[in-house]
Amino acid sequence: MSQETWTKVDEYIFDALVPSDPTLEAAIEASDEAGMPAIAVAPNQGKLLHLLARMIGARSILEIGTLGGYSTIWLARALPPEGRLVTLEYYPKFADVARKNLDAAGVGDLVDIRLGEALDLLPEVEGPIDLTFIDADRVNNPAYFEAALGLTRPGGVIVIDNVVRSGAVADTSNTSDEIVGLRRMHELIAAEPRVDATALQTVGMKGHDGLTVVLVTS
């Protein structure tokens, strides 16, 4: 298996199940033109988030890590007209690009972009939250998970992206802050009686990574 094969399979999935969307494509183009890193979720991953939000009837969503708003658009489109989405972004430039992309997608009125360090902003987020998507620095993922758990209602879902990092999470010789943060997060999830969870490896146009899905049970 190779990156070329993974990308071809992703392209097949896009053609079969995730039709081309000019608004979402424009959001990626705007992010690229602004010089932002090309680390947004893939289209099929964005649709997975969208479907998860719809499956649980989400009316309130929290996102940690806005980037250019690509995943935010997918999530906001799952909300009812009276829904709300709070997304936290550290970089003002990213937040500016995201705001334009969200407005262009027609979901700007549903989204509250809050600027600053996520750990400083999280205490001001009002719960209960139905779905939380964590897609930010892995170093602070343990703290992000704990904050999300305190906000997410029983029956709600927490999704954490980028949890495999090309297999580094299972490489015991890797003691980088990022990987240690991921391992600590999974230790917290495993020891937490109020949740049930699993993690999946993913391969595709974004390479080899994965996501963790947590159901808040009580």
CATH of the domain at 174: 3.40.50.150
Torsion of CA 183, 91, 25, 4, to 10 degrees: -40
How far apart CA 195 and CA 96 sit, in angstroms, is: 35
Domain that holds residue 68: 3-216
Q: Is 201 helix (H, G, I), strand (E, B) or coil?
A: strand
Q: How many domains does the chain have?
A: 1
pTM: 0.96
- Residue with token string 């980028």: 162
Per-residue pLDDT of the chain (218 residues; tens, 9 = 90+): 799 999 999 999 999 999 999 999 999 999 999 999 999 999 999 999 999 999 999 999 999 999 999 999 999 999 999 999 999 999 999 999 999 999 999 999 999 999 999 999 999 999 999 999 999 999 999 999 999 999 999 999 999 999 999 999 999 999 999 999 999 999 999 999 999 999 999 999 999 999 999 999 99
The pair of structure tokens assigned to 23 is 């608004």
Q: Is 139 exposed, middle or buried (0-12, 13-18, 19+ CB in 10 A)?
A: middle
